Structure 1
Amino acid sequence: MTTLPQISLAKLSADATRHEEQQRLRNACEVYGFFYLIEHGIPKEQIADAIDASRRFFALPLATKERFGHAAQNVHPTIARGYSPLYGEILHPEAGRDPKEVFDLGIDNEGDRRPFAGRTLFPDEALAPGFARSLLALQATVLREVVPQLGTALADVIGLEQGWFQRYFSPPTLEQRVIRYPARGGTCAKHTDGGFFTLLLQEELPTRSLQVWLRGRWMPVPSLPDSLVVNLGDMLQALSDDRFKSTPHQVAHNGLTDRISLPFFIYPDVDARLTSLEGHHTFSVAEMMLRNYESVETGNGAGRARELQ
């Protein structure tokens, strides 16, 4: 049994159950910084289609995948989109390069030259059947069914003014990742996430690869059927004046099969400048995101990785 709480998105969205579920959400944010999200409304078949298509993409020859790497992407920063091979990034400087493969995408907007915007160069349908199509369909569902409802609830339990989430997340900034952890040794080193919150969609495997730092130890987080894993990011911790926890986590995958992971990192509008309720923290979203990406690119780690021993 895991000690992570379960939060129902359906109950957060219903008048009759909202208050009680928000109390449970507040406790989860203050104590854990991680929780399972159930009754979330994303069809299981849609997640399975994206996982299957991603597995087929990663099975392509390396030279083929590298045609869609960072250098081929017409976005800023370039590492925000496209393919990264095994040992392509460092999330904690002491751990070195992570043995995992990644493909990054975001919300496509032709002609938008702001940081983290633009269009992703995908392999076409003939080369990678269903890859772009299933990932973008899943993105549309997540942005429609989950992000506004959960984001509004989080803003409410922090105590931000009514309408705050709609004001600063119209539109949100999205980093959507597809990650393949190889069998018997795929890892993602310890780090924190930099954004507002992260949604993790994953395969229901018997291995407990995800680990969360709680109560002075690494706690394994097993897959729970029909649930998402949600964790809070550094921006949300700052906006809560450090009442809510952006909790360190890592992946250590030793299963007999590869593991496909589909995280969605949710940030405010890239042009926003935000101040916490009590005024202890003020930051530019673009500046904070760019610093974090530069830290990863230079091997200094992600989020508050450098604080984690």
Structure 2
Amino acid sequence: MAPAQVSCCDSSLFSSAGAPRPFRSLFDKDRIEWPEPIQRVQSIAERGIKHLPPTYVRPVEERPSGHVLAEEKIPLIDLSGLDNERREKTMEEISNACKQWGFFQLINHGMSTELLNAGRDVSRRFFQLPLEEKQKHANDPKTYVGYGSRTGELPRLEFKTMPVMKEYCNGAVQVCRTLLSALSQNLDLPPKYLEQAFGGEEDIGMCVRVNYHPVCPQPDLTFGLSPHSDPGGITILLQNDVSGLQVRKGDYWVPVRPVPDALIVNLGDQIEILTNGIYKSVEHRSIVNDTNERMSIVIFCNPCGEKKVGPAKDLIDGSNPVKYKCMTFNEYRMFIRTTGLKGKSYV
């Protein structure tokens, strides 16, 4: 059962001085006519239904299944170690997490508890608004902006009246830039290599999505989000204290347990392409439950839509041939938008 969502997209990161750059569309020339009606999942759930509408019931072969390794944990990394005597060890931890998991949690990342709580609070209050108020920010079949429930697209919404969210995005973007530098250096590339490959300070893409997963009466029949890898670069996610995110590890699924004030980081397909498969984007999914609602704030740090992305030349040699085609991020995600989420089949 797809989550209710409110989303935005900014074409660039924040400047080094921390001032947000203007929001502008990446796809004003390429908007797609979506044939399906917008589903208000939150409203359906609030009716107190006992059975899922047929629209949301997955075929048997597509329902949540697979062995869950409840005792396994994704890596937990203290990012403050980059600035002290633990730098070498912290860089190694980041490298191992990127190669072995593609997912990890960050603590001491520079975003305060107050800011994280403020982001959660303003997001929660939006979804608590009456439907008619949320509808003022609704998306429609011709845009990717605002309140809706569709997946497989990249929506956007300018948070003109939400300065807390702008400050939250600013902090998350700084975390992304720190990680891009660390990933580059771990590959013996210049510190700014991946940032420049994304478009540099002026043109790196930044998108925001707030997901609200309502209580589901039959969670074994559907997903919050289907298994997929993220098409972009680096994803920074903040969840509430309700578990639901699961990461694929071989033939198993590993729950991502909430850690107080931690940010969840996962690598997207563009990092796998740029590193020629040294770092992996990893399939993940979101399950729902019949007792608690779940909410997450997701920041996507992506390459500039019009910039060609391909494996770094310095990572290619006789024993490591090119594994991925070069294409723009616009081309890559436009294909995904028109075909839907399908695991890791794209990359």
Tell me which interval the TM-score lies in, with the shorter structure as reference length. 0.7 to 0.9
The residue aligned with 1:117 is none
Matched to 1:67, the amino acid is K
The residue aligned with 2:115 is 46
Report if the CA contact (8 A) 1:68-1:121 is conserved. Answer: no
Residue 201 of structure 1 deviates from its aligned partner by 0.8
Structure-1-length-normalised TM-score = 0.75
Correspondences of 1:240-279 after superposition (within 5 Å):
240-254=275-289, 256-277=291-312, 278=316, 279=322
Correspondences of 1:62-81 after superposition (within 5 Å):
62-71=131-140, 78-79=143-144, 81=145
Secondary structure of the 1:47 match is helix
- The worse-fitting range, judged by mean Cα deviation, of 41-50 and 158-167 is 158-167
Change in 2 beyond 3 A, CA 1:158/1:288:
farther
Q: For structure 2, list consecutive stretches of 5 or more residues without a partner in the other structure.
A: 1-70, 317-321
The residue aligned with 1:20 is 89
Residue 260 of structure 1 deviates from its aligned partner by 1.4
Report if the CA contact (8 A) 2:116-2:261 is conserved. Answer: no
Once residues 121 and 36 of structure 1 are traced to their aligned partners in structure 2, the CA distance between those partners, rounded to angstroms, is 28
Secondary structure of the 1:55 match is helix
Change in 2 beyond 3 A, CA 1:29/1:69:
same
Once residues 199 and 258 of structure 1 are traced to their aligned partners in structure 2, the CA distance between those partners, rounded to angstroms, is 20
Once residues 306 and 275 of structure 1 are traced to their aligned partners in structure 2, the CA distance between those partners, rounded to angstroms, is 17
Secondary structure of the 2:264 match is strand
Residue 242 of structure 1 deviates from its aligned partner by 1.2
Residue 32 of structure 1 deviates from its aligned partner by 0.8
Matched to 1:70, the amino acid is N
Residue 34 of structure 1 deviates from its aligned partner by 0.7
Matched to 2:185, the amino acid is D
Once residues 209 and 291 of structure 2 are traced to their aligned partners in structure 1, the CA distance between those partners, rounded to angstroms, is 22
1:82 corresponds, among 142, 146, 156, to 146
Residue 41 of structure 1 deviates from its aligned partner by 1.0
Change in 2 beyond 3 A, CA 1:83/1:169:
farther
Report if the CA contact (8 A) 1:200-1:261 is conserved. Answer: yes
Structure-2-length-normalised TM-score = 0.68
Once residues 104 and 50 of structure 1 are traced to their aligned partners in structure 2, the CA distance between those partners, rounded to angstroms, is 19
Number of residues of Structure 1 aligned to a counterpart in Structure 2: 259
Matched, 1:11 2:89: no
Secondary structure of the 1:66 match is helix
Once residues 232 and 244 of structure 2 are traced to their aligned partners in structure 1, the CA distance between those partners, rounded to angstroms, is 22
Once residues 5 and 283 of structure 1 are traced to their aligned partners in structure 2, the CA distance between those partners, rounded to angstroms, is 31
Matched, 1:177 2:242: no
2:239 corresponds, among 187, 190, 202, to 202
The residue aligned with 1:163 is 192
Deviation per CA, 1:240-292, whole angstroms, max 9, x where unpaired? 11122211111112162321100111112333223312244322223223333
Matched to 1:6, the amino acid is L
The residue aligned with 1:216 is 251
Q: Kindly name which structure, 1 or 2, has the bigger radius of gyration based on alpha carbons.
A: 2
Once residues 287 and 52 of structure 1 are traced to their aligned partners in structure 2, the CA distance between those partners, rounded to angstroms, is 36
Change in 2 beyond 3 A, CA 1:226/1:157:
same
The residue aligned with 1:108 is none
Q: For structure 1, list consecutive stretches of 5 or more residues without a partner in the other structure.
A: 92-102, 106-119, 126-131
Deviation per CA, 1:105-143, whole angstroms, max 9, x where unpaired? 4xxxxxxxxxxxxxx355x75xxxxxx222112011222
Residue 181 of structure 1 deviates from its aligned partner by 0.5
The residue aligned with 1:187 is 224
Once residues 156 and 283 of structure 1 are traced to their aligned partners in structure 2, the CA distance between those partners, rounded to angstroms, is 24
Change in 2 beyond 3 A, CA 1:38/1:214:
same
Matched to 1:224, the amino acid is V
Secondary structure of the 1:60 match is coil
Correspondences of 1:53-64 after superposition (within 5 Å):
53-64=122-133
Secondary structure of the 1:70 match is coil
Matched to 2:235, the amino acid is T
